[in-house]
Structure 1
Amino acid sequence: MSYLYLVGLLLSAACMLLIDRRFRLFFFRDPRVAAVVTVVGLVFFLLWDFAGIGLGIFLVGHSAYMTGIMLAPEMPLEEPVFLAFLSLCTMILYTGAVKLLDSRAGQGSA
């Protein structure tokens, strides 16, 4: 049993939160809204995963880097962590892009 993938996901999320903290993009801009958006994204992607699992489309891949802990059939522990990271990463990239474009638009009109 290896925790390498799980640790990698958590470290990646921590790095994204450091970027968020530095530029106040998502959680460090409005923690309550960010938490709601992240949970809604996580629930959406989990429902998507369960639909794919039910249809036989999504199957767990066995890897020496995963814990092997299963939360449900075809749902490893790492999957919801990855989906939360995906939501977090997407929102930080989105809010960062909006902030960058807004600052460039402000410079162009000055």
Structure 2
Amino acid sequence: MPGLYLLAILLSFGGIAAIDARWRLVVRDAPIRTAITVVVGTLFFVVWDLVGIATGVFVKGDSPLLIGVELAPHLPLEEPVFLAFLCYLALVAWAAAERMLRRRRARTEHS
């Protein structure tokens, strides 16, 4: 089913955004910094992919789950969307872990 992979990425993106909004992890505190970080990280990994494609390390396999749009040879449309999701997920996970560790330290200092 074409588009299923992109749909899964977008639904996952929405789930992480809901977690972020619920616990106010990154976007609410620093929306511009978050956007810049996601864009810069995504661009970095797209360049990484392009270098890998140019050297023959990365190739796009055939999958009926992709919509079939290629931004460059062996670079499907889903790839930068996934990379943006990956960068956002990393920010949210980092912020959540940092908050948990901060709370744990605060509890042990008050004990």
Alignment of 1:1-110 (within 5 A): 2-110=2-110
CA distance in 1, matches of 2:27, 2:53: 31
Tell me, which stretches of 5 or more residues in structure 1 are unaligned? none
Tell me, which stretches of 5 or more residues in structure 2 are unaligned? none
Write the letter of the residue equivalent to 2:41: G
Q: TM-score, normalised by structure 2?
A: 0.96
Per the TM alignment, residue 29 of structure 1 is displaced from its structure 2 partner at its CA by 1.9
Deviating above 2 A after TM superposition, structure 1's stretches of 4 or more consecutive aligned residues are none
Q: TM-score, normalised by structure 1?
A: 0.97
What is the count of residue pairs matched by the alignment?
Answer: 110
Per the TM alignment, residue 47 of structure 1 is displaced from its structure 2 partner at its CA by 0.8
Q: Secondary structure in 1 aligned to 2:102?
A: helix
